[in-house]
Amino acid sequence: MTKFVYAFTEGNKDMKDLLGGKGANLAEMVHMDLPVPPGFTITTEACRYYLSNGQEPEELEAEVTRHLEAVEEQMGKKLGDPEDPLLLSVRSGAKFSMPGMMETVLNIGLNDESVKGLAAQSGNERFAWDSYRRLIQMFARTVLDIDGDFFSDALHALQKAKGYSGDLDMTTADLQELVEQFKGIVRRATGYPFPQNPRRQMNLAITAVFRSWNTERARIYRRREHIPDDLGTAVNICTMVFGNMGEKSGTGVAFTRDPSTGHSGVYGDYLVNAQGEDVVAGIRNTLSLKDLEQLDPVSYNELMDIMKRLENHYRDLCDIEFTIQEGKLWMLQTRVGKRTAAAAFRVATQLVDEGLISAEEAITRTTGEQLTSLLFPQFQRDAQRTLITKAMAASPGAAVGEVVFSNEQAEARAAEGAKVILVRRETNPDDLPGMVVAAGVLTARGGKTSHAAVVARGMGRTCVVGAEDLLVEEKAGTVFIKSTGQTLRAGDVISIDGTTGEVFFGAVPVEDSPVMIYVSQGLEAALEAAGDDVDTCELVRSVDRILTQADKSARMHVRANADNPEDAARAREFGAQGIGLCRTEHMFLGERRELIEHVILAATPELQEAALGALMPLQRGDFEGIFEAMDGLPVVVRLIDPPLHEFLPDMTKLAVEVATMEARGQQVPEHTRTLLRAATERHEDNPMLGLRGVRLSIQIPGFVDLQVRAVAEAAVACRKRGLDPHPEIMIPLIGSDKEFRLVADRARKIIADVERESGYDLDIAIGNMIELPRAAIIAEKIAEDSEFFSFGTNDLTQTTWGFSRDDVEHEFIPTYMAEGIFDTSPFETIDREGVGELVRMGTERGRKGNPNLTVGICGEHGGDPASVHFFDSVGLDYVSCSPFRVPVARLEAGRAAVMAKGQESGAGATA
């Protein structure tokens, strides 16, 4: 029989699939003998059963009863007992953290009777009634789907009527009155009284947590974070401990190190006399943990000790939730904490220095996405700028945009292409759609662990929180700046700095980030630019150590796609180990387009040869420059690829031009007529599937002669200058081994000619691209004569799916993503089971045909983190990507190799 319920004593941290992150880590803390209130976890499997069958598994009820009885026995209390009630929390917890996206109900077990028992037992009537009103409020919203505003409006109305400034002013009598009002709201909204039976409360809450897996905001969050939709959530049922019992109680959230800088130390927020969600909801501004040290040194010291133990145990930065009930500390949650990109690099190297992890493991603690975010520009330090306010830096970056106040405004303006900053008093999980499209988020309340901060950090959104100087009137659409009396309105442009917490009027100009300076100019330059900014120096040193280690650990090489000497030089600075794709057609654009036009229009073979000849010195010069920039490293030159009409003026435009001139009785120049004739002749309905790639080289062999000779002669010229060029010739869009052989033989002959003429032995490898499914299928035959393969996954995705790469990404891929057919566009992340399978097969078959075959990939996927891991797993020799993505690909190639080793040895490096 399937086991659907696990006591906290039965699980451990590696059981996240079944128990969710929270459940698995609660169990781990129990094993570490930390103070965790007793409880149990209902598995994600039970949730999946519920979601597919619309009801709980039959045996669940009895299993829950057994575990509940065990907890009751341990606590010496019964759930909802009128004399001395055991109270429970029911909390969601999926495998991957989805902060605030799903539901939680606290204080289960309170009713009209047990509230009196709780008051008597605790000797604190106010606390008991406060807990009861919280239960009704949370239960109504999450379980009964009643709009939460009814309750907060009633609460605020009461506070206003009595002239109170906040929750803490409310008396027992006020809370009793509120409970009556809340019960009335429930009855009016549902037609039934608030459920009094404790067990029924618990069962309904469990079902509500299951259901919350599929709320709109949870779905949006999963899509963004690429979390599969079919995992389900676990449900954690835990004995309540109370942070709202008075001045000696409270609740807090903490990190074992600073999640924005990585500095070790105490970082967290604490709220006196408060419960659960109060801290993250940002309802009241919080105290720091340092304040806790003053308030309750015993609990504080115990907390510090536990945080140290957790960090040593998990060997990583952890975040925790805790509650202090009348001086007794309880741990409610821990997990490996989310952190900013800068902190990820710094923490990883700090942990190496502290001897907790190896240098190889350190690279798995960072990601390509994090590195990408560190390469973004930042605000210019000495730019003219006017400060509005300085608040808490919650998620780094430099964001400029128009002020918007709601999801609707944010989405509407973003759809029109505007950059927006979502400004809110505080954010709650419903604001997610607005945060997704915003460049940055600014809130007036809340701390570093508020919902806005946590979610923004997770998404890599720039975020500033707790800007108390701002009075945000969302309904009125204004932000009143208290200190100056000025007002901002929707549409006004502001700049927010998530690294310093500063907010500025207008658009502040941006400059290269320190990490960008590091990857483009090296460590010395970055340190010099950072000056005496210790944090920045530490960051660039960490990035340097991690990238150096990644290069050491990587099995695959990283090359760049570049087609001019400047890009090649830049790619080399970024750490590229060669050029994997030089698109030669890019050399025929601009002023040179006309030279190609002459080739196309040439009336006789002689004229065509002459036209090609005119291109020769130019091509040779291009290659010489690139070989020089990549001296000593391989440079893959691809023969011309696109259909020829791309080099002619547009056929329709020409036709209109001619027709207009004719209608006006003007003389049409002969050249225009010739162009129109050529364009019409060359016109193809499906140019992507037409005369391009190798087909062009077969149709007009003069191109092969020109390009191969230019490559070979450029290599000779470099050798004469004492350089060490390593050109390779690549033939695109191969579908048959015969096509390949025809062109390759011609190229080899030209290389041999140049070798003879010059007396240099050039050793130029000739290989081909795999861009058609047929090529992957017959790869063995092609490889017999080919020295290397490079997967052109842009075309391979296009031809495998039958998707036009120029059209579908704006046409219907967004719909496919919304419908859940795709998590990401297959043009962005390799489609493993389809296109990826062709890559795997093509590689295997190719190596059968030629055991020495070098295999790379040069489509856009070469710089995509998830795809890089896939290419490592199928054994490619290199990935090639645009220069800007080279550092990310280097990091991911290193991570992929280390993680693969970890899997082999069963060590399981962290993703």
| Residues of this chain that bind ligand PEP (CB under 6 A) | 581, 583, 641, 771, 792-795, 858-859
Work out how close the CB of 804 gets to Mg ion at its nearest, in angstroms, rounded to a whole number: 13
State in angstroms the smallest separation of the CB of 425 from ligand PEP.
Answer: 48
* SS3 of 834-862: HHHHHHHHHHHHHHHHCCCCEEEECCHHH
Contact 223, 96 (CB under 8 A): no
For the record, the structure tokens of 884 come out as 């800007």
Distance separating alpha carbons of residues 89 and 68, to the nearest angstrom = 12
CA distance 189 to 193: 10
How far apart (Å, rounded) are the C-alpha atoms in residues 135 and 69?
A: 22
Cβ 640 to ligand PEP, closest distance in Å? 11
Instruction: Using DSSP, state whether 697 is helix, strand or coil.
Output: helix
Name which of 11 and 792 has its Cβ closer to Mg ion.
Answer: 792
Q: Give the distance between the most distant pair of CA atoms in the chain.
A: 106
CB within 8 Å of 406: residues ≥ 6 apart: 434, 474
Q: Please choose which of ligand PEP, Mg ion, none residue 394 contacts, taking the beta carbon within 5 to 8 angstroms, the exact cut-off set by kind.
A: none
How many CB atoms sit inside 10 A of residue 682's CB? 18
- Dump strand ranges (E) for 77-150: 78-79, 85-86, 88-94, 104-108
What's 863's DSSP letter?
G
* Near Mg ion by CB under 5 A: residue from 792, 836, 842, 856: 792
Binding part of the chain for Mg ion, among 93-101, 184-192, 588-596, 765-773 by CB under 5 A, reads: 765-773
At closest approach, how far in Å is the CB of 612 from Mg ion? Answer: 23
If the CB atoms of residues 498 and 859 are measured against ligand PEP, the closer one turns out to be: 859
CB of 859 to ligand PEP, least distance (A): 3
Point out which span in 173-181, 270-278, 530-538, 766-774 binds Mg ion (CB under 5 A).
766-774
DSSP H helical ranges for 1-95: 16-31, 44-53, 60-75
The answer to whether residues 312 and 256 touch, using CB atoms and an 8 Å cutoff, is: no
Q: E-strand spans in 299-413?
A: 318-325, 328-336, 378-379, 387-390, 392-395, 398-404
Q: State the minimum distance, in angstroms, from the CB of residue 376 to Mg ion.
A: 29
Q: Which is nearer to Mg ion, 311 or 795 (CB)?
A: 795
Residues belonging to the active site: 451, 858
Please enumerate in sequence order all residues whose Cβ is within 8 A of that of 714, keeping only pairs 6 or more positions apart, or say none.
Answer: 620, 621, 622, 623, 624, 627, 725, 727
Which partner in Mg ion, ligand PEP, none is near 793 (CB below 5 to 8 A by kind)?
Answer: ligand PEP
Q: Pull the structure tokens for residue 70.
A: 């065990």
Q: What is the x/- site pattern for Mg ion, positions 369-408, by CB under 5 A?
A: ----------------------------------------
* Partner from Mg ion, ligand PEP, none binding residue 498, C-beta < 5-8 Å depending on class: none
Q: Of the two residues 311 and 771, which places its CB atom closer to Mg ion in the complex?
A: 771
Pick the closer one to Mg ion by CB: 177 or 646. 646
Query: Closest approach of Cβ 856 to ligand PEP, in Å?
Result: 10
Task: Answer with the entry of Mg ion, ligand PEP, none that 858 interacts with (C-beta below 5 to 8 A by kind).
Answer: ligand PEP
Partner from ligand PEP, Mg ion, none binding residue 103, C-beta < 5-8 Å depending on class: none
859 binds, among ligand PEP, Mg ion, none (CB under 5 to 8 A by kind): ligand PEP
CB of 779 to ligand PEP, least distance (A): 16
Q: How many helices (H) and strands (E) does the chain have?
A: 37, 33
Select 199 or 583, whichever has its Cβ closest to Mg ion. 583
Which one of ligand PEP, Mg ion, none interacts with residue 479, CB within 5 to 8 A by kind?
none
Q: Which is nearer to Mg ion, 361 or 771 (CB)?
A: 771
**How far apart are the C-alpha atoms of 773 and 794, rounded to whole Å?**
12
In the list ligand PEP, Mg ion, none, the entry touching 583 (Cβ below 5 to 8 angstroms by class) is ligand PEP
The DSSP code for 723 is -
- For Mg ion, the binding residue among 512, 713, 795, 831 (CB under 5 A) is 795
Q: Which residues of 154-186 are buried (b: 16+ CB within 10 A; e: fewer)?
A: bbeebbeeeeeeebeebeeebbbbbbebbbebb
Q: Which does 406 bind (CB under 5 to 8 A by kind): Mg ion, ligand PEP, none?
A: none
Minimum CB distance to ligand PEP smaller for 296 or for 795: 795
**Binding residues for Mg ion, how many (CB under 5 A)?**
3
Segment interacting with Mg ion, rule: CB under 5 A, options 388-396, 501-509, 770-778, 805-813? 770-778
- Please report how close the Cβ of residue 697 comes to Mg ion at its closest, in angstroms: 14
The single residue listed with the structure tokens 């500033």 is 464
Which residue, 401 or 792, has its beta carbon nearer to Mg ion? 792
Segment interacting with Mg ion (CB under 5 A) among 353-361, 480-488, 610-618, 768-776: 768-776
Q: How many residues appear in the chain?
A: 911
Give the binding site for Mg ion (CB under 5 A).
771, 792, 795
